Structure 1
Amino acid sequence: MPKPRRSRAVRPPARAAALPRHGGLAVPWITGWFDGRPYFGVNFPLRRIQCIKYRLCQFCREPLGRRIGLIVRPADIAVGYVDEPAMHPECHDYAVAVCPMLNGSLDHYRAAPPAAVAGLIAVQASRAGKPAEAYEAWYITPSGYEIAYGPDGAVLGIRLDVPVLMKRPVRAAARPRLTDEHAALLRQVLALESSLEGPATS
C-alpha cells in the first residue's frame, strides 16, 4: 500500500470562513456528523438534495456562480449523472487538495461507518472497502446545470450529458489489493509452471 502523501498546508477559500474545523481542515457543509465528529465523505441526504435542487455549493453552502465544478467518476458517466453536488471552483480545488481520496493518499475507500451513523446519514455502501476509482474534474456553466430525476421524481443528481467547459484528471484508479486467497492461488500457479518446466539442462 502506498504511503499517504503529506499534503502541504492548504488554506480554505475565504467563503469557507464560517465552516467548522476538524483536524485543521474545513468541514464541508454537506458532511455528516455523529457523536461530535464529522465523517468526511459521508453526506447528509437532505443537505445533498438541497444543494442539488437549489444550486448550492456542497462545500460552503453558498449559491453557485458562473463556473461550476463537478467531481466525476467513470460510474457516474455510465449512468449519466453525478450524485455529488457541485462546488465553486475554489471550493472544488480545496477539496481536491485535502481529500485523501481525491489527492491519492488513499487507494481504497474506507469501510462503512458504524451502523448508528449509517442509520442517520447517506452512506455509499457499495463503495466501502473497494479500490479508489478514477476521478475527473468537470466544469460547466449555469446554463448546463440540469437535475437528473428518477421515475418516482426523486432527485438523483446533476446530469452529465451537457456542454462541458473543461475536463481534467484528478486521480487515477487504484489497483485492487491482492487478497490472501488470491496470493495463495498465484503461488500455486507459479509452482505448477515451475514444475512443468522441469530441471534445467546444460
Structure 2
Amino acid sequence: MFHREGQKIILLTFFLVVVAVVLADFYVLTDWIRITVQILSILILVSILQFFRNPKRISNKNFNEIHAPVDGKVVVIERVMETEYFKEERLQISIFMSPVNVHVTRYPASGVIKYSKYHPGKYLVAWHPKSSEENERTTVVIRTPKFGDILYRQIAGAMARRIVNYAEEGESVQQGEESGFIKFGSRVDVFLPLNALVAVKLNQKVKGAITCLASLNTYDEEG
C-alpha cells in the first residue's frame, strides 16, 4: 500500500523507468552498459516505492499515553523553552527520519486541534539544533483529555522540500490517524508537559502510532 502523496511521483518514475529500460534495450549495444542502466533504473523505482509505502497501523488508543507520530530514531529528549505557542518550558522529544523510514505522520494523541500553522524556512539538516526554529515546518497543537495541550512539529530536512499537514483547527482527531506526510529525510518534535513520564531512550527506534513516547504521571493526576 502506497501513500496518496506519492501517486504522481510513482507514476512518473514508473514511466521514466520503462522508457529507460526499453531505450537501453534497443539502442545500447554494449551489454554491460545496457544491463547497468536497466538495473539502476529499476533500483530507483524500488527506492521510490519503499519511500512512499504506507503500512497499515492499528493504534491501541490510550488517553494516558502519547504515541510516536512517525517512524525513526529518538535524537533529543530534553527540557526546552517552546517559544511559538506555549512560551514556557516543555519536554521535547525529537524523532529523526532517514529516507528509508516510513514518512507518514500520525496524530500522537486524541483530542481537538487548537492550532495549526505552516512556516516557510530554510533546509538545514534535520538534526541541526536550529532546524526546529529555522527550517520549513508546521506546528500543530492538540488539546487532549489528560495531557492538556501538546504540540508536535513537522520539520523539513536538507532533502525534504514539501511538508503535507492535514490538521485543521477545530477538528477532532484520533490517536494514530494520518495527520500528514514529509517527503524525504526529516524530523518531528513533540512538546509535552514537564511532568510527562518519558518511555523511550536516546537512539531508540520507534514506530508511528505504535511506540509509546510518554505516559501520564498518574501520581500527579490522582493528587
> TM-score if structure 2 supplies the norm length?
0.24
Greater helix proportion: 1
